[in-house]
Structure 1
Amino acid sequence: MAAQNTEFEFRGVNHLALVCKDMAKTVEFYRDILGMPLIKTLDLPGDRGQHFFFDVGNGDSLAFFWFKDAPKAVPGISAPEALPGEGNFMSAHGSMNHIAFNINADKFDVYCQRLVDKGIKVSAVLNHDDSETQVTAELHDGVFVRSIYFFDPDGVCLELAAWTKEFDASDVAHDPMQADGTRRAGLITAHAGHA
């Protein structure tokens, strides 16, 4: 049974807004390489820049701002320096680490090859599971999502992700870490089904 929000009836993500260095290259990448329809374009008032929206499916959008005088990106702080498995994937508090586009598991291998055929450098396929390393080379019943990662022209880390199992109460089993590096005991595990 899917988890239910009893406070707000959210309907997914309306849009995620990022900042690009070159809107033309952004359009070429997202519309022409990834095939996302461009659904809305705006020139911002006062000649401040532009705001473009791309359809990512299910009524959700990915939006980009282009600001004439935006600061340059700082890899390793504002975004990961490297793809998972290839180097430092960490980014700073308040940053956006990566965007994962949900795809059908049956299309995963085809879409990965399609990226390569379009000249996109991609990470190795990561089959995420609950093992000690949390990844495996082989697809087995414990794999919950399959992933491949790549960068857009501005260094935004993107992921194609395919869920491979339905979650249940056993999948929520870790108490969260606090800023001081200690675990907040009981915040998760004390709830029903974990006591």
Structure 2
Amino acid sequence: MSITHGVHHVAYRCKDAKQTVEWYRDHLGMDFVLAIAENEVPSTKAPDPYMHIFLDAGNGNVLAFFELPNSPAMGRDENTPGWVQHIAFKVASMDVLEATKAKLVAAGIDVLGPVNHTIFKSIYFFDPNGHRLELAADIGTPEMMRKLDACKWDMLEEWSQTKKAPRHAAWMHEG
């Protein structure tokens, strides 16, 4: 049993706190819930001014960002492919997914998808900070989820030994 009670917040870096708040509000409907700013980092006491913003991502989930004006320009881990690191948000239905895609495209945002992952469909796009975002609508059946649950440990063990994709759930991408 997990000792945690959920995710308090997830924090990323942003280029401009105001622009980030407005973008998430305008494109994903997230409310701006809190701002904290200091000239000294509380945990390390380093003299490093920051603006820490918090957005309501729904159902008690909080997405936060730090603007760090005295730090070098943002970059990304060049050893990790761009598709790997992303923030995935759940949406209520395929209708919401498709309507959001249309709204994003109308605003000039490049959107990939919907991509069919068998148990959910997703669209992908980037925020103004270069963070890859995913919106996902669940479409899997209880039987699909049972099949995936039944093989997860065998898949993990095989991967651990071979570093090759196990075929236990190949049905997800074979038709």
TM-score range, shorter chain: 0.7 to 0.9
Q: % of aligned pairs identical?
A: 35
Give 1:80 deviation, angstroms.
4.8
CA separation in 1, counterparts of 2:35 and 2:21? 11
Give 1:66 deviation, angstroms.
0.7
TM-score normalised by the chain length of structure 1: 0.67
The answer on whether the counterparts of 1:175 and 1:183 sit within 8 Å (CA) in structure 2 is: no
1:124 aligned residue: 113
CA separation in 2, counterparts of 1:126 and 1:116? 16
**Greater relative contact order (Cα 8 A, min sep 6): structure 1 or 2?**
2
1:60 aligned residue: 61
Which piece of structure 1 moves more, 153-162 or 20-29?
20-29
Count how many residue pairs are aligned between Structure 1 and Structure 2: 150
1:175 aligned residue: 156
Structure 2: runs of 5 or more not aligned:
41-47, 169-175
Which piece of structure 1 moves more, 164-173 or 39-48?
164-173
- Classify the secondary structure of the residue corresponding to 2:136: strand
Aligned partner of 2:88 among 87, 100, 111 = 100
Aligned partner of 1:19 among 13, 26, 51 = 13
The answer on whether the counterparts of 1:79 and 1:155 sit within 8 Å (CA) in structure 2 is: no
Structure 1: runs of 5 or more not aligned:
1-5, 82-88, 91-96, 129-142, 190-195
Paired amino acid for 2:104:
L
TM-score normalised by the chain length of structure 2: 0.74
1:152 aligned residue: 127
Give 1:121 deviation, angstroms.
1.1
Pair 1:43 & 2:70 matched: no
Aligned partner of 1:8 among 3, 26, 35 = 3
CA separation in 1, counterparts of 2:18 and 2:125? 19
CA separation in 2, counterparts of 1:159 and 1:58? 17
Higher strand share: 2
CA separation in 2, counterparts of 1:145 and 1:171? 18
Higher helix share: 2
1:133-166 superposed Cα distances (whole Å, 9 cap, x missing partner): xxxxxxxxxx101000000111000000111124
The CA RMSD over aligned residues, in Å, is 2.6
2:43 aligned residue: none
Large movers: runs of 4+ above 6 Å? none
